[in-house]
Amino acid sequence: MQRWSPGIGDPTLIGWFTVAAYFVAAALAIRTTMMLRAGGGARDRAEFTFWVGTCIALILLGFNKQLDLQSLLTALGRCVAQIDGWYQQRRAMQAGFIIAIVGTAELVFFGFAYAMRRTIGRNGIALLGMGIIATFVMVRAVGLHHVDSLLGLTLNGWRLNWILELGGIGVVTIGAIARMSFERDSGERRASAG
């Protein structure tokens, strides 16, 4: 049985770069939240909630990148499956879990998209990035061998899981920068009109 023990989950250069990327994106999301509040953009509750949630999620994911808590969940799931006697049928359970996870991620994504429909033009990029990250992290947490093998594929020296995770973080970062730019431009227009 595979066991989990506390330690650094990905002590490689790319692992630490990913942690730094999570924290940079979180800092930009925090800055976006502060600009929304200062500029009066916090009037749209769904938009403000999205950016606060994005800040929290990115910080937690940055810590989780090295704490590797999804491996703990996978080990616990294996343990429960063995104790309850359904370990031999785990593939069907894992497939159902992946479907449920992806479905949940899509529902949350489209729920936020609907709630933020008035501001989707200003926040859609960041919302897409969080959807990519959430789906990647949840599917990765399942620990299905075939999915792990797929995520381990390399393209020109880059592992697919690096591309997906860093790509999602990059999309959120671009979305935060775009939202701050829009808020800054709106503030300048309000100041010149007033």
27 located within any domain: yes
Contact 51, 29 (CB under 8 A): yes
Residue-number span of the structural domain to which 23 is assigned: 13-193
What's the pLDDT at 152? Answer: 66
Contact 144, 158 (CB under 8 A): no
172 located within any domain: yes
Q: Is the pTM of this model over 0.85?
A: no
Contact 130, 174 (CB under 8 A): no
Please tell me the distance from the alpha carbon of residue 126 to that of residue 104, in angstroms, as a whole number.
Answer: 18
What's the pLDDT at 88? Answer: 81
What's the pLDDT at 150? Answer: 65
2 located within any domain: no
8 located within any domain: no
3 located within any domain: no
Count CB atoms within 10 A of the CB of residue 26. 23
Domain count, the chain: 1
What's the pLDDT at 1? Answer: 45
Q: Walk along the chain (194 residues) and give the pLDDT tens digit of each residue.
A: 456 566 677 788 999 999 999 999 999 999 999 998 887 655 678 899 999 999 999 999 999 888 877 777 777 877 888 888 888 877 777 778 778 877 887 888 888 889 889 989 999 999 999 989 988 887 776 655 566 666 667 777 778 888 889 999 999 999 999 999 988 887 677 667 76
What's the pLDDT at 95? Answer: 77
117 located within any domain: yes
48 located within any domain: yes
Contact 106, 91 (CB under 8 A): no
58 exposure class (CB count in 10 Å sphere: 0-12, 13-18, 19+): buried
